[in-house]
Structure 1
Amino acid sequence: MFLSRAASDVTFVCDGDVELPAHRFLLCSKSLMFNRMFKHDMKEAQEGKIIVEDISAPILTEFLRFLYCRRVDSLEGGQPDQLLIEELFKVAEKYDVPTLKDLCERRLVQDVGVENAAEMYCLGDMYNGDVLKEQALRIMIRWRSYSLCECRPRHETAASRWRRRCKFWRVFICSYHETCPTLLSFAMVMSNFPRIASSSVVKAPSSRGCLDTT
């Protein structure tokens, strides 16, 4: 039934004129978003057409493949497509498909490293990926401590050490003040109180932008 026009009663339109046929009963059974859409007789239900402007045809195709076949081809190979997984993570959040979202999040968590920890934190924050946020934050804390130790001069005053620690988190304040408010809040606290990073447990900022520490 995947991309089959047989008995299809709804069509996705993306990238201007690309049409992907689908079936309402299956969409409703897999996604709460589609269930609400067709249940309440919205415009898409009346016209039998869902116009998608923010998702490309390849991403939408993989999304539908998961709904119909319960698999994502890019996750089955040795080198998964990181960008594709990120986009599917966003689509799963948009259309309320928790099984796909969890699958993508687990894969993203495995690939969090020093070079992308801040970006992955922002991704998790924007699309409600708490596990991804926690892993990214853990990596940032660990790398911060390591980098400060490696760069520490042999004879360093307390004031110099304080300034060096503050500098690390101020980088995030400059880089993410617009895209990720919660990371900004955390970075501001860390830049003023770097000793927090050495505490036994550091939790991600709450939705109110406050830092929780124990």
Structure 2
Amino acid sequence: MSDRVETTPRLAQWRIDSLSPFSYRKSDPFKIGLWNWYLAVGKNKQLFVKLYPEGSSLTREKPPIASLTIKIVSLSAPNRSILIHPGISDKLLKSSDDCVWSVDTLFTGRFIIDVEFLDLKIVPPSGGEPASIWTSYQVAKHTEAVALNSLGRMLTEGIHTDITINVADSSIGAHRAILATRSPVFHSMFYHDLREKELSTINISDMSFDACRAFLNYIYGNFQAEEFMIHRIALLKAADKYDIPDLKEACHESLVEDIDTRNVLERFQVAHLHQLPKLKSSCIRYLVNFGKIYEILKDFNDFMQSADRELIAELFQEVLAAWKGL
């Protein structure tokens, strides 16, 4: 017996050759829209059909809001008798219990479960009214991709740049309007009669060329994962300095994810300097609760000689609290 579901972009059909009493079957996953879906059918006193999206991070973050029709087509009865569901309109589907159709007719022999998706919507990331993935969502997604690609080319190809950023070992051309839009600090530089406005230059002497390029790539939407990972600390400092909270939060979350004995002390200091509570508590937990402080005693002694006194006192309070709990 095949559990394969045949699909077109909006139609799914599951052909069932037989279904014995008191039985339950689940289809193979099939793709419609953004999601993988399942159909399930069972027979007891009634026949029931279920449709639901695969449990995944995508379904949790972007649950489908579906409009659809379901039909059961008997292949054994004369003239292909058809039973049609009244229809589902703009229903949020997250679990296997959200779309269940129970019918009193007990089909015998071969039949087809036919699902036609009239529309699938999601709530946009920015909120607001649900948007169709087949109309406004796809148009918006395409428009965003084109716009970001254009901004990226403006930076990489130096198209009509109107300000020069001098870094420690080179310079990069950029655009005042884009910098000002993303950073209130840059906006203030260009709005008031400051040196940067008069000379059309910005001096960022505390960043390397590569780190500054990664910083600008983020601002222009030309995100590069590899360079982000390499320059996270520098990007965090720049995000703080130029008041770009989304970049700061992205760096914060990323730095929490790969703490180890080689970087924990540096990140502990970074968390203190840039007021990153989640990173600080994660470092303390790694050092104290998991006992890693004993694996890096030499580095820890060097840290004690140079670190901020307030930071050392905070760490020792955690160590003492852990000892008392033993």
TM-score, scaled to structure 1: 0.68
**Mapped partners of 1:178, 1:145: distance in 2:** 20
Contact preservation (8 Å) 2:293, 2:300: no
**Mapped partners of 1:5, 1:143: distance in 2:** 49
**Mapped partners of 1:98, 1:123: distance in 2:** 16
CA displacement 1:101-133 (0-9 Å, x = unmatched): 111111110011244322211011112222211
Within the candidate set 8, 19, 31, 2:171 is matched to 19
**Mapped partners of 1:95, 1:146: distance in 2:** 34
Contact preservation (8 Å) 2:165, 2:202: yes
**Mapped partners of 1:127, 1:87: distance in 2:** 12
Name the count of aligned residue pairs.
171
Contact preservation (8 Å) 2:284, 2:318: no
Equivalent residue, structure 2, for 1:138: 285
Q: Which structure: greater strand fraction?
A: 2
**Mapped partners of 2:285, 2:257: distance in 1:** 13
Equivalent residue, structure 1, for 2:240: 93
Equivalent residue, structure 2, for 1:180: 308
Q: Give the letter for the 1:90 counterpart.
A: K
Contact preservation (8 Å) 1:4, 1:21: no
**Mapped partners of 1:33, 1:177: distance in 2:** 35
**1:1-214 superposed matches below 5 A:** 1-16=154-169, 18-69=170-221, 71-74=223-226, 80-81=229-230, 84-144=231-291, 172=300, 175-189=303-317, 194=320, 196-197=321-322
Q: Determine helix, strand or coil for the equivalent of 1:12.
A: strand
**Mapped partners of 1:118, 1:14: distance in 2:** 28
Q: Give the letter for the 1:95 counterpart.
A: Y
Q: Determine helix, strand or coil for the equivalent of 2:193.
A: coil
Gaps of 5+ in 2: 1-153
Which structure has the larger Rg over C-alpha atoms? Answer: 2
**Mapped partners of 2:292, 2:212: distance in 1:** 41
Q: Determine helix, strand or coil for the equivalent of 1:33.
A: helix
**Mapped partners of 2:318, 2:180: distance in 1:** 45
**1:177 offset after TM fit, Å?**
4.4
TM-score, scaled to structure 2: 0.47
CA RMSD of the aligned region, Å? 2.9
Equivalent residue, structure 2, for 1:211: none
**1:92 offset after TM fit, Å?**
1.4
**Mapped partners of 2:239, 2:220: distance in 1:** 14
CA displacement 1:53-108 (0-9 Å, x = unmatched): 110000000100010025233168xxx43xx2222112211211111111111111
Gaps of 5+ in 1: 149-167, 201-214
**Mapped partners of 2:224, 2:277: distance in 1:** 22
**Mapped partners of 1:62, 1:174: distance in 2:** 31
> Per chain length, whose mean CA-contact separation is higher, i.e. which structure has more relative contact order (CA < 8 Å, sep 6+)?
1
Change (3 A) 1:190 1:178: same
Change (3 A) 1:125 1:54: same
Q: Give the letter for the 1:87 counterpart.
A: A
**Mapped partners of 1:7, 1:174: distance in 2:** 49
**Mapped partners of 1:177, 1:100: distance in 2:** 32
Q: Determine helix, strand or coil for the equivalent of 1:118.
A: helix
Q: Which structure: greater helix fraction?
A: 1
